[in-house]
């Protein structure tokens, strides 16, 4: 006890002595500080406690309040560090352009692990680096980039035309566009090389996470203590981020070094990229890695964020969108001419919106500098001493009512030449020797992007833009994301050609005579009254998402056996589980229904859609899906799902849609197993990631053709935007599949053992034509990776919403598999709780909500009471069977325990993978991959979600999916310091 008192007294006396010494040696700083208003500080700590008790997002708000309380010149102390906040625009300009204040402040030190000491952060080589790079950012150089800007933004705009009308975060697509543009210009990477760069996609996906980590270190004081940081989950994130950045940057530098060495003649200085300039100036790869990542991330991420913000503002302000669109059409119209700066000079409305965007969404909300020599401000009243840190609150200046009329409203007209503004109060790109190097580059790219987008689509958004929550961190961003909806501008109003009455009646009479047997048997089945010729088609001329609900309503009204007519086509819905089993296993009903014809442009008539050769194709493919083959896939399943677990482990605790990360995992797994591609092969496949990301939209296009009757008229379909979407998708799918087939052809020529052949190899050696090969390869690729990702995401979402079941499954995993062990089929037999959850997901989120078959021969059901006639179409409403209270207790609730062996249920009422000869080929494959994925993820992270799972909206289409996405949060299980939360 006495020793503790002695230590305490010693620490107290030492602190007081240090404080007195510090005050003596820093008396000039203290003298200046007295001239400035600010909150009263504590000895030693200063005002640090004020900020230490706050969340990061509240700290900047607190600075804003201090400025509001104490004025344009406000001081506060963070320990011994004097921070002087200066909001007067004239003094801000004076300071930023002064040689006495040209060193970045201490906050930038937290960026050093990622960006070193150079262009962005400052350092001994800052001026040398900047001088080397300046030629790549001149107007002349940026003009030379115009062809690439036009190509990449045109692709981006075309991609947006393929979207449906649901809101989506446009940033996720914009950042892909700006990334490719930066790679092809500043990095001088060819279009073909981009897909081969190691970890590029991972770095792009995590760029916001990287900046978020840096901001956490800046604003959470305990993370600035090295020991605590190393024990926290943030350190593991930082290590992961640094590794993928190093791999990406090293790959890019090596490619440019090789290109320079291989060049037949000297590359002209004017067209050199930034890496080339460093290399020819004698810098080594290690010396420039930091600078390359700095230029890469500060080129693609802010450009994407500003471009997304411009599109968001235009979506919320339709009158300004109309002005900009008309201006674009007047200046360039539909011409294929390359957009240049000369065009932009004639687009004042676009410029006004752009400037208002960078005012409202400040790309650099705060600038921090360290004073190197005494500097005088406020007309000589205040002298800031060397060593002080100044904070320039750009975001606050941009919202100051003294300089801006209604600053919290978005009013592009404020930048009209007719309106006088205080130009010194507009500081989007900083000023002076350390201003934004890439402003000319960014403006040209962003404006090109906006013009290309507006020419092709009309933007819309819900609510008021001023009501969106903003998060001011390293930059100002929209918390909810940049959510907009798009609609192609060339959408034509479709009209239906009505047949002449007399030929229609004659056709109807002829049809009734030739189909009298079908009509006679149809009378045995109840259903709604039908009109001549049209049948019940008018009943289904409703929104696609309402059509399946309508079928459910008819079943509820007319019973387990319900008929309706779509024109001359007899549809009979059968909901009785025993009859469903009989039909699906009968040789009389083993042809897919007509709805599958709308899939044939993508997957032909084969395994998935049926056709004359589907049995042959299935026989060829079967060995690749056997249990023996899947046991050989276990290595890949374990490797890829382990990578997914690590990716989720470094996520922050914000909600995110897990589907997209899971999809990357299942896509790679399918490529490395069924497609028999190596990890290196995957990098060479054109459009692979793009096709994977667009798979849901491809299925959405098919579903639109199935459910929108006018799109089934070829002429109308050709005139619609859907036809252009189909052409675009078919093109990228064809290129992707061609690459896969070509790679496997070359490998087969060297010899492959039969028992380890993938499906592509089996199709090739069995002599399928090129067209057959492409259709069957894409059918098996897409049904394997997309369906597995959707089910796996469903399982993770269920576990996130059901913590008690998550605990059961996790404890079971640790008991059966352990924390590190390789996962095998034998483990799954013992993971009973996981199986219960898996089955409940398949029940609640039916992967095939409706099955359709064509009756080839008359078949009797319902104990002989009903005979289905040949030529009729059977619809089996799996989703409705899975929700029927006759077979399931509380079917609308999620209860995994219902699949416990102790609970008796009708086995025929659970049909997740269909039945019979045309059942799901990949059920064993998918089950093994999904369960391995869940085990690997749960061992690394704990899942959480908000709200009730049953309250989520479902979209019942080709499969059942959650409209809001598979949104959850993750938290590493091995986090050492729980208090760091």
Annotated binding site for heme: 436
Spell out where 808-940 has E strands. Answer: 851-854, 859-861, 866-868, 873-876
Rounded CA gap, 271 and 467, in Å? 45
CA-to-CA separations, 346 to 193, 327, 416, in angstroms, rounded: 36, 8, 14
CA-to-CA separations, 729 to 163, 650, 666, 682, 790, in angstroms, rounded: 12, 33, 20, 19, 21
Rounded CA gap, 166 and 188, in Å? 36
Burial of 594 (0-12, 13-18, 19+ CB in 10 A): middle
Q: Which of 475, 564, 569 is nearest to 526 (CA)?
A: 564
Spell out where 191-250 has E strands. Answer: none
Rounded CA gap, 602 and 609, in Å? 10
The phi and psi torsions of 362 (rounded to 5 degrees) equal: -60, 125
Number of CB atoms found within 10 A of residue 598's CB: 18
3-state secondary structure 636-685: HHHHHHHHHHHHHHCCCCCCEECHHHHHHHHHHHHHHCCCCCCHHHHHHC
Q: Which of 580, 632, 604, 577 is nearest to 924 (CA)?
A: 632
Rounded CA gap, 63 and 67, in Å? 6
Per the CB < 8 A criterion, the answer to whether 14 and 8 are in contact is no
Rounded CA gap, 244 and 210, in Å? 11
| Stated length of the chain | 981
Residues annotated as binding site?
436
List the strands of the sheet with 457-460, edge to edge: 168-169, 483-488, 457-460
What DSSP string runs through 33-90? HHHSB-PPPBTTTBTHHHHHTS-HHHHHHHHHHHHHHH-SEEEEEETTEEEEEE--HH
Q: Among all chains, which residue has been given the structure tokens 């004020």? A: 50
Rounded CA gap, 420 and 413, in Å? 11
Paired with 838 in beta bridges are none
Report the SS3 class of residue 539.
helix
CA-to-CA separations, 919 to 582, 776, 884, 923, in angstroms, rounded: 13, 16, 22, 9
Paired with 367 in beta bridges are 392
Question: Which residues lie below 8 Å from residue 460, measured CB to CB, with a gap of 6+?
Answer: 315, 318, 484, 485, 486, 487
């Amino acid at each position: 006890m006495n020793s503790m008192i002695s230590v305490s007294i010693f620490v107290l006396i030492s602190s007081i002595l240090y404080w007195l010494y510090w005050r003596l040696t820093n008396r000039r700083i203290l003298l200046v500080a007295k001239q400035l208003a600010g909150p009263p500080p504590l000895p030693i700590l200063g005002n640090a406690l004020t900020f230490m008790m706050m969340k990061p997002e509240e700290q900047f708000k607190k600075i804003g309040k201090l400025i509001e309380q104490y004025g344009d010149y406000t001081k506060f102390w963070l320990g011994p560090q004097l921070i002087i906040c200066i909001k007067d625009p004239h003094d801000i300009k004076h300071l930023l352009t002064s040689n006495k204040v040209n060193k970045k402040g201490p906050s930038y030190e937290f960026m050093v692990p990622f960006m070193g000491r150079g262009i962005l952060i400052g350092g001994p080589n800052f001026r040398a680096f900047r001088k080397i790079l300046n030629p790549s950012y001149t107007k002349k150089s940026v003009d030379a980039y115009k062809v690439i800007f036009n190509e990449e933004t045109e692709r981006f705009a075309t991609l947006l035309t393929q979207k449906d009308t649901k809101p989506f975060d446009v940033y996720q697509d914009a950042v892909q566009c700006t990334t490719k543009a930066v790679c092809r210009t500043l990095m001088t990477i060819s279009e073909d090389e981009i897909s081969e760069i190691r970890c590029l996609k991972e770095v792009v996906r995590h760029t916001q996470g990287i900046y978020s980590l840096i901001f956490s270190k800046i604003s959470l004081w305990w993370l600035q203590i090295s020991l605590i940081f190393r024990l926290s989950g943030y350190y593991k994130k930082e290590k992961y981020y640094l590794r993928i950045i190093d791999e990406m940057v090293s790959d890019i530098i090596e490619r440019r070094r090789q290109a320079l060495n291989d060049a037949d003649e000297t590359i002209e200085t004017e067209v050199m990229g930034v890496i080339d300039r460093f290399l020819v100036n004698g810098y080594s790869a290690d010396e420039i890695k930091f600078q390359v990542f700095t230029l890469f991330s500060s080129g693609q991420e802010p450009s994407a964020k500003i471009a997304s913000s411009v599109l968001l503002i235009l979506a919320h302000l339709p009158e300004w969108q109309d002005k900009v669109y008309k201006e674009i059409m007047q200046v360039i119209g539909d011409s294929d001419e390359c957009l240049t700066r000369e065009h932009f000079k004639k687009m004042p409305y676009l410029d006004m919106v752009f400037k208002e965007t960078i005012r409202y969404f400040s790309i650099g909300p705060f600038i921090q500098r360290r004073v190197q020599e005494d500097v005088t401000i406020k007309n000589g009243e205040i002298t800031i001493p060397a060593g002080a840190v100044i904070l320039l609150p750009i975001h606050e200046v941009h919202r100051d009512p003294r300089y801006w009329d209604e600053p919290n409203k978005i009013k592009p007209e404020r930048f009209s030449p007719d309106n006088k503004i205080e130009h010194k109060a507009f500081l989007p790109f900083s000023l002076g020797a350390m201003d934004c190097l890439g402003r000319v580059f960014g403006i040209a790219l962003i404006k090109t992007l906006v013009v290309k987008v507006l020419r092709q689509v009309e933007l819309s958004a819900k609510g008021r833009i001023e009501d969106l929550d903003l998060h001011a961190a390293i930059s100002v961003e929209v918390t909810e994301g940049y959510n907009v909806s798009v609609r192609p501008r060339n959408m034509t109003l479709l009209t239906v050609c009505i047949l002449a009455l007399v030929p229609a009646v004659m056709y109807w009479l002829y049809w009734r005579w030739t189909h009298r047997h079908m009509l006679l048997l149809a009378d045995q089945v109840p259903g709604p009254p039908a009109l001549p010729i049209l049948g019940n088609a008018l009943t289904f001329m409703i929104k696609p998402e309402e059509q399946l609900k309508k079928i459910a309503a008819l079943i509820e009204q007319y019973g387990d056996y319900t008929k309706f007519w779509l024109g001359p086509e007899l549809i009979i819905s059968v909901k009785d589980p025993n009859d469903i089993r009989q039909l699906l296993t009968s040789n009389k009903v083993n042809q897919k229904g007509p709805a599958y014809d709308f899939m044939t442009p993508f997957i032909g008539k084969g395994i998935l859609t049926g056709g004359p050769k589907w049995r042959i194709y299935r026989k060829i493919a079967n060995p690749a899906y056997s249990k023996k083959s899947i046991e050989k896939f276990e290595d890949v399943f374990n490797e890829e799902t382990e990578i997914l677990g690590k990716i989720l482990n470094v996520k922050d605790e914000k909600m995110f849609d897990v589907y997209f990360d899971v999809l990357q995992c299942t896509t790679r797994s399918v490529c490395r197993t069924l497609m028999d591609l190596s990890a290196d092969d995957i990098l060479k496949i054109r459009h692979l990631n793009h096709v994977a990301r667009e798979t849901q939209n491809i299925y959405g296009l098919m579903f639109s053709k199935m459910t929108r009757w006018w799109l089934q008229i070829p002429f109308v379909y050709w005139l619609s935007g859907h036809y252009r979407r189909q052409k675009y998708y078919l093109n990228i799918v064809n290129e992707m599949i061609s690459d896969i087939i070509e790679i496997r052809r070359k490998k087969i020529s060297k010899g492959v053992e039969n028992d380890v052949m993938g499906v592509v190899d089996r199709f090739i050696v069995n002599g399928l034509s090129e067209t057959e090969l492409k259709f069957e390869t894409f059918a098996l690729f897409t049904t394997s990776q997309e369906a597995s990702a959707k089910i796996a995401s469903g399982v993770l979402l269920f576990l996130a919403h059901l913590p008690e079941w998550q605990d059961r499954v996790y404890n079971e995993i640790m008991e059966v598999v352990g924390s590190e062990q390789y996962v095998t089929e034998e483990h799954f037999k013992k993971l009973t709780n996981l199986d219960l959850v898996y089955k409940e997901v398949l029940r609640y989120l039916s992967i095939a909500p409706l099955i359709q078959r064509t009756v080839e021969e008359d078949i009797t059901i319902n104990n002989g009471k009903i005979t289905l006639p040949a030529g009729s179409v059977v619809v089996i409403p799996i989703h409705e069977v899975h929700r029927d209270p006759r077979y399931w207790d509380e079917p609308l609730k999620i209860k995994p325990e219902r699949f416990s062996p102790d609970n008796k249920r009708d086995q025929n009422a659970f049909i997740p993978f269909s039945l019979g000869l045309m059942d799901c080929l990949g059920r064993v494959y998918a089950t093994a991959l999904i369960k391995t994925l869940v085990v690997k993820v749960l061992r690394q992270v704990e899942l959480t979600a908000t709200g009730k799972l049953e309250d989520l909206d479902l979209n019942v289409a080709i499969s059942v999916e959650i409209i809001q996405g598979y949104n959850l949060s993750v938290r590493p299980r091995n986090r050492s310091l729980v208090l760091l939360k």
